[in-house]
């Protein structure tokens, strides 16, 4: 866990400022809805690729290695992604500690606590890098083909890709802008409501 400790020692000031704008911080007194629990369960199950019932930190940050290896992210950007992931691992997954692995129930209850707190927005810290990685031709937009490639590259069923894409594309210009993507990510992790972009997710169809 030396690697996690090293990454975790990085304070937020080392992250690009646009990722951590304290002016936008807010808390929520709302208890997460059943729908929210369903989303977190889906997210966890998709991340637990080997269906072990637990996810290790090494597994969690592998996505950065993958994007670096495929050339979807430069080594520098991949390292930024690792730092952002280390932050979300520590704060969202491990309840502010450094843990080696997290089981599904632990993850969901830690997340439920986390999203009520005043640092809830850091849950999407890694998403700008994920966006860049999905944008294969680096034109600053995500096309439906790029989105499908992302899902299938991670072993996610693409049956719902078009519906999810359409929901994220709020201005209907057939591409997903960074703003649209980050909005969808925020809704996914933080919103309790069903409907619109929130009924779809990056990680395929929701699991009951
Ligand atoms: Ca593109
Ligand atoms: Ca759009």
Is 105's pLDDT higher than 70? yes
Ligand 1 centroid from CA 140, angstroms:
6
Residue 93 C-alpha to ligand 1 middle, in angstroms?
A: 31
Structural domain boundaries of the chain?
Answer: 2-9+32-199
Alpha-carbon distances, residue 128 vs 31, 33, 125, 208 (angstroms): 27, 26, 7, 28
Q: Which ligand is located closest to the Cα atom of residue 145?
A: 1
Ligand 1 centre and the CA of 142: distance in Å?
Answer: 4
pLDDT tens digits for 15-27? 444 444 444 455 6
Counting residues of the chain whose pLDDT is more than 90, the rounded percentage is: 56
Alpha-helical (H) ranges within 24-174 are 34-47, 57-69, 75-88, 104-114, 127-134, 144-153, 161-168
Q: Is 141 helix (H, G, I), strand (E, B) or coil?
A: coil
Digit-coded pLDDT (tens) for 33-58: 999 999 999 999 988 888 889 999 99
| Architecture, CATH, for domain 2-9+32-199 | Orthogonal Bundle (1.10)
24 vs 184, which has greater pLDDT? Answer: 184
183 CA → ligand 2 middle, Å: 11
Q: Give the CA dihedral 35, 194, 89, 113, nearest 10 degrees.
A: -60
66 CA from centroid of ligand 1 (Å): 18
Question: What residues contact 111, with CB distance under 8 A and at least 6 apart?
Answer: 40, 92, 93, 123, 189
Q: In the numeric block, which tokens belong to residue 133? A: 């990685």
Instruction: Supply the pLDDT for residue 136.
Output: 97
Q: At what angle do helices 161-168 and 144-153 cross, to 10 degrees?
A: 130
């Amino acid at each position: 866990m030396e690697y996690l400790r090293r990454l975790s020692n990085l304070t937020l000031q080392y992250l690009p400022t646009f990722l951590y704008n304290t002016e936008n911080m807010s808390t929520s007194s709302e208890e997460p809805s059943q729908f929210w629990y369903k989303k977190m369960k889906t997210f966890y199950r998709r991340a637990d690729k080997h269906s072990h019932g637990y996810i290790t930190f090494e597994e969690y940050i592998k996505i950065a290695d993958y994007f670096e290896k495929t050339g979807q992210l430069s080594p520098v950007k991949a390292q930024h992604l690792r730092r952002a992931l280390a932050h979300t691992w520590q704060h969202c997954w491990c309840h502010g500690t450094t843990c080696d692995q997290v089981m599904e129930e632990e993850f969901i209850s830690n997340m439920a606590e986390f999203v009520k707190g005043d640092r809830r927005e850091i849950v999407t810290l890694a998403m700008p890098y994920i966006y860049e990685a999905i944008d294969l031709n680096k034109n600053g937009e995500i096309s439906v083909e790029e989105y499908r490639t992302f899902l299938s590259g991670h072993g996610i069923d693409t049956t719902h890709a078009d519906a999810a894409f359409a929901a994220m594309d709020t201005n209907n210009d057939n591409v997903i802008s960074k703003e649209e993507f980050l909005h969808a990510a925020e809704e996914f992790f933080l919103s309790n409501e069903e409907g619109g972009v929130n009924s779809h997710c990056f990680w395929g169809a929701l699991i009951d």
